[in-house]
């Protein structure tokens, strides 16, 4: 998968990027999906770029063209004051619309106070900017518009795996009824901090509604057991099986995510 990741990064940068991949099971798989989604957006005429952890763009002529994958224990977004050597992100924008960021391996805070790692998440760039402005960085509170769980394992996805993803999304969902009970300043939004005031991010009234106005995906190298797949419809989770380098299933996943972003005007 690494050759495909390198090719995607080089295409986005229009130069040779230096990939610093994190060790550990499944990390290459996450990069593969991340690069594939970004490349699919680029092919749909989005402006797509690589971004250092301090928020600066990686330019084709820069001496330092490292794209760094977060390693070690899960954490939040690093502060810009900590320098450019932490986890890189991918930014994208269509014409004059708001800017978005594609994150890998970032923890989100839930209503319970627990933190939940989302393998790949798409959030407004204003959220990333607000977190990077904090000296030590921080974690977003709320739910991304796109959440992708990556599973590079041979065994089929179980019912418990699906339940865990549903529970994670449940805790990071901020509904209209939750905000009076949360210590959050400003207008109620679906994710904090630093969110632009627009209708995309006004909190939903129910989990059913929020599940259907976000894109939630489990991407697996293998498949799913019957019971796990049966849960996806009600909770609006898209199962994508057989994701591997050069497969039509992988391209189908990339196209699904990119087409959803286009269709929702992001």
pLDDT of 198 > 80? The answer is no
Note the pLDDT of residue 186: 80
Given this model, what pLDDT does residue 58 score? 98
The residues that bridge with 118 in the sheet, in sequence order, are: 106
Q: From CA 135, how far away is CA 145, in angstroms rounded?
A: 26
**pLDDT digit string (tens) for 47-82?**
999 999 999 999 999 999 999 999 888 899 999 999
Give the three-class secondary structure for 127. Answer: helix
Percent of the chain with pLDDT over 70: 100
- What is the reported pLDDT for 113? 94
pLDDT at 25 over 90: no
Question: What pLDDT sits at residue 230?
Answer: 76
Work out the average pLDDT over 73-95.
96
Please give the model's pTM, rounded to 2 decimal places.
0.96
Q: What confidence score (pLDDT) does residue 232 get?
A: 85
Q: What is the pLDDT of residues 202-241, one digit of tens each?
A: 999 999 999 999 999 999 999 898 888 777 888 999 999 9
Contacts of 97 (CB under 8 A, 6+ apart): 265, 266
Which stretches of the chain are assigned E, i.e. beta strand? 18-20, 47-51, 66-68, 89-93, 100-109, 115-124, 141-142, 146-151, 191-192, 215-220, 238-240
């Amino acid at each position: 998968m690494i050759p495909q990741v390198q090719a995607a990064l080089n295409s986005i940068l229009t130069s040779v990027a230096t990939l610093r991949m994190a060790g550990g099971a499944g990390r290459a798989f996450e990069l593969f999906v991340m690069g594939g989604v970004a490349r699919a957006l680029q092919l749909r005429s989005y402006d797509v770029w690589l971004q250092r952890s301090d928020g600066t763009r990686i330019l084709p002529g820069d001496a330092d063209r490292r794209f760094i994958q977060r390693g070690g224990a899960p954490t939040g977004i690093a502060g810009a004051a900590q320098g450019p050597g932490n986890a890189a992100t991918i930014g994208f924008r269509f014409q004059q619309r708001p800017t978005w960021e594609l994150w890998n391996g970032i923890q989100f805070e839930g209503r319970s106070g627990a933190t939940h790692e989302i393998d790949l998440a798409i959030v407004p760039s204003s959220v990333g900017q607000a977190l990077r402005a904090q000296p030590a960085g921080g974690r977003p509170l709320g739910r991304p518009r796109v959440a992708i769980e990556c599973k590079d394992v041979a065994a089929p996805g179980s019912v418990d795996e699906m339940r865990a993803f549903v529970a994670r999304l449940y805790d990071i969902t901020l509904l209209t009824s939750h905000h009076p009970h949360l210590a959050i300043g400003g207008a109620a939004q679906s994710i904090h901090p630093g969110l632009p005031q627009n209708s995309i991010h006004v909190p939903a009234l129910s989990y059913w509604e929020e599940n259907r106005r976000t894109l939630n995906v489990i991407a697996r190298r293998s498949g799913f057991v019957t019971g796990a797949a049966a849960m996806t419809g009600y909770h609006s989770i898209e199962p994508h099986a057989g994701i591997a380098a050069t497969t039509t299933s992988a391209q189908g996943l990339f196209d699904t995510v990119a087409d959803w972003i286009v269709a929702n005007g992001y």
